Amino acid sequence: MKKNKRGALGRGLEAILQSPDTDITSTDISGNYVVGAIANIAIGKIEPNPFQPRNNFEEDTLKELTASIAEQGIIQPITVRKLGYDKYQIISGERRLRAAKLVNLEDVPCYIRVANDEQMLELALIENTHRTDLNAIEIAISYQRLIEECNLTQEELSKKVGRQRSTVANYLRLLRLPAEIQVAIRESVISMGQARNFVNIEDRDEQLKLLNEIRESGMSVRELEKKVKKINHRKKKSPLPAKYLDLSKNLCDDFNAKVEIKRNNRGMGSIVFKFGSQKEMDRILTLLKK
């Protein structure tokens, strides 16, 4: 004779599952019961995770997973937290849950946890970054949320996600890049290795110019590194002494035109008068002859 399924779960877990008071603030429940518990839960009783860091799920891989579940069922249980009696919220395994819905499963095997909101965000992030290959921007956004919403330092965050602090910092720097470059990272136009080089360029126009070059002709990480070094070397040329800056300003005033003084590190350079028409050029030449 088969044992009652609920009775087989154990008295401690049964009390947790049936308690109307069990929610994210529970503090008197043994974690041993919760972490070790596996039960089949009706899909309709599982709410989505508001902290899910992944926004996009590749259609092809989701179809493959759906076909596998239709044939073999769910091999690895999803993880949920208990919100109250017969009410759950997914922590990780959203792809499996979506695929289960596509094959019209009524219930899915679940690991049952009790977690507060900070743990929800942390668990969802860790599970996704280690198992489902989030793109670099999604990881960066999730790290930033952990820092802001859970009040963590970069050092504390690196320990929680099991990565070096320098790695965490590299991801967070991506969020300083222009939106066009962040989209390119999302769409795999540029890799994480390439993206790290864009962070080292301060000029937005230079960043976008390089992005267009990569789109048009491609560029390896090493080639991009060389380009960035040249750009930064050019930008780091010695600034003009004050007397040359004053001279440039006086020439601009005298000729009522834009005058640019250029000088390299060896003291060589040029004085450039800019004009927008033939008439303006003639006027400048006339003044120079005086």
- CATH number of the domain where residue 91 is located: 3.90.1530.10
Same domain? 126 vs 139: no
Total tally of structural domains belonging to the chain: 3
Residue 160 pLDDT: 83
Structure tokens at 48: 């989505």
CB of 34 closer than 8 Å to CB of 22: no
Residue 38 pLDDT: 78
Backbone angles phi, psi at 137, to 5 degrees: -70, -40
Please list, in sequence order, all residues whose beta carbon lies within 8 angstroms of the beta carbon of residue 237, skipping any fewer than 6 positions away.
264, 265
pLDDT, tens only, 184-212:
888 888 888 888 888 888 778 888 888 88
Of 37, 172, 45, the C-alpha closest to 97 is 45
pLDDT, tens only, 39-88:
889 999 998 877 665 656 667 678 888 888 888 788 778 888 888 777 88
Q: What is the Cα–Cα distance from 290 to 266, expressed in whole angstroms?
A: 31
Same domain? 13 vs 110: yes
From 14, 47, 64, 94, the catalytic residue: 94
Residue 266 pLDDT: 61
Same domain? 13 vs 126: yes
Please tell me whether residue 206 adopts helix, strand or coil conformation. Answer: helix
Sign of the alpha-carbon dihedral angle for 225, 207, 132, 153: positive
**pTM, full prediction:** 0.49
Please list, in sequence order, all residues whose beta carbon lies within 8 angstroms of the beta carbon of residue 240, skipping any fewer than 6 positions away.
248, 261, 263
Q: What is the Cα–Cα distance from 154 to 165, expressed in whole angstroms?
A: 6
Same domain? 247 vs 231: no
Same domain? 254 vs 211: no
Same domain? 106 vs 188: no
Residue 43 pLDDT: 92
Same domain? 219 vs 248: no
Residue 120 pLDDT: 67
Q: Which DSSP string corresponds to 7-72? A: HHT-HHHHHHHH-TT-STT--SS-HHHHHH-EEEEEGGGEE--TT-------HHHHHHHHHHHHHH
Same domain? 158 vs 230: yes
Backbone angles phi, psi at 46, to 5 degrees: -110, 120
Alpha-carbon distances, residue 95 vs 48, 101, 126, 138 (angstroms): 11, 10, 15, 16
Same domain? 122 vs 188: no
Cα 112 from chain centroid (whole Å): 28
Q: What is the CATH number of the domain that holds 187?
A: 1.10.10.2830
Q: What is the Cα–Cα distance from 252 to 76, expressed in whole angstroms?
A: 72
Residue 106 pLDDT: 92
Q: What is the Cα–Cα distance from 77 to 111, expressed in whole angstroms?
A: 6
Quote helix, strand, coil % in the chain, to nearest 5. 55, 15, 30
Please tell me whether residue 201 adopts helix, strand or coil conformation. Answer: coil
Same domain? 231 vs 250: no
Q: By residue range, what is the domain housing residue 164?
A: 135-235
What are the per-10-residue average pLDDT scores of the chain (290 residues)?
Answer: 38 48 39 54 87 64 84 82 82 86 91 72 66 76 76 85 88 87 87 86 83 84 84 66 80 80 74 82 82
Same domain? 59 vs 82: yes
Which residue carries 């596509």 as its tokens?
102
Instruction: Enumerate the β-bridge partners of residue 84.
Output: 87
Domain end: 130, 156, 190, which one?
Answer: 130
Q: Which DSSP string corresponds to 117-178? A: HHHHHHHHHHHHHHHS---HHHHHHHHHHHHHHTT--HHHHHHHHT--HHHHHHHHHGGGS-
Specify whether 94 is catalytic. Answer: yes
